Amino acid sequence: MKLTSKGRYAVMALADLANFDSVDPISLRDISLRQGISLDFLEQIFSKLKKHNIVKSTRGTNGGYVLNKDPAQIKLANILNAVDEEVKTVQCKKESKKGCNSKTSKCITHNLWDELEIHINNFFEKKNLKDLISNKLESIN
């Protein structure tokens, strides 16, 4: 199980945006420079985030992006979902009767990995952008 760069970078970029807590738009170029993420990749990510109403954009010389909601209302699960990131610990489909290794039954450790997937997804459902910013501030002090 692994989160792709797309999911990790989406969370990083939005945490960067939330860190400014401003009504002034932040350019993707600034986020790119601060976080070390390719500008082209950020443009792809923010296109998806905008479609899911997580951010809104402003055009022009002072243009950029702002969060569409308060950071406390933006769950990490929503961010990952917006960029088509899926946390899976098993290869088989839950509703399938066929097992992970193409046998007729589930593997002996299937329930363990399935339970882990539930815990991970619950974790992302409980955490929000404000939690990330608060944790960062606590670690500095």
Give the predicted TM-score (pTM) of the model: 0.84
85-130 pLDDT, tens digit per residue, is 888 777 766 666 666 666 667 778 888 888 998 999 999 999 999 9
Residue that has been written with the tokens 């760069």 in this structure: 5
Q: What is the pLDDT of residue 3?
A: 79
Q: 33 Cβ partners below 8 Å, 6+ apart?
A: none
CA distance 14 to 74: 10
Helix (H) or strand (E) holding 67: strand 64-67
CATH topology for 5-140? Arc Repressor Mutant, subunit A (1.10.10)
List pLDDT tens digits, range 4-40.
899 999 999 999 999 986 778 999 999 999 999 999 9
Q: Sketch the domain layout of the chain as residue ranges.
A: 5-140
Residue 55, token pair as written in the block: 């951010």
